[in-house]
Amino acid sequence: MRNKPYPIKRWAILLLLLVISPIANATDVRGRVEFRARNGMNYPMNGAFVQFCIVNTNNCAGYTTGYDGMYYLRLVPGAYYIVINGRVFQQISVPNTRNIDIPPIIGN
């Protein structure tokens, strides 16, 4: 007697599509955090904790900047607040595109 493979249930396929669909619509977001020195020049802010928090929720995605002050996140399109080191800086709308660049933000 041959072993028959398990049939794939319709509900399992639907569940898989529901889990994968938000990931498929993710947008790569990158930007830079700078600090303004006393001489008026801007420099990369190393070690800044950047969070993108969905408006009207407590859901946040975070990243700590490197020596170049850059952050890189993959986000689902929607409205977010940008929070740097615990301070809200601006609200931004992440569109349903492949990549977006956020202009540099002065973090101090």
Reported as a single tens digit per residue, the pLDDT across 15-68 is: 545 555 555 578 899 999 999 999 999 999 999 999 999 988 888 889 999 999
Phi, psi of 22 (to 5 degrees): -65, -35
What is the C-alpha separation between 108 and 106, in angstroms, rounded?
6
Q: Are the C-beta atoms of 60 and 51 separated by less than 8 Å?
A: yes
Report pLDDT digits (tens) over 72-91. 999 889 899 999 988 888 89
Q: Candidates 2.60.40.10, 2.120.10.10, 3.30.70.270, 3.55.10.10; correct CATH number of 10-106?
A: 2.60.40.10
Q: For the chain, state the CA radius of gyration.
A: 20
Contacts of 11 (CB under 8 A, 6+ apart): none
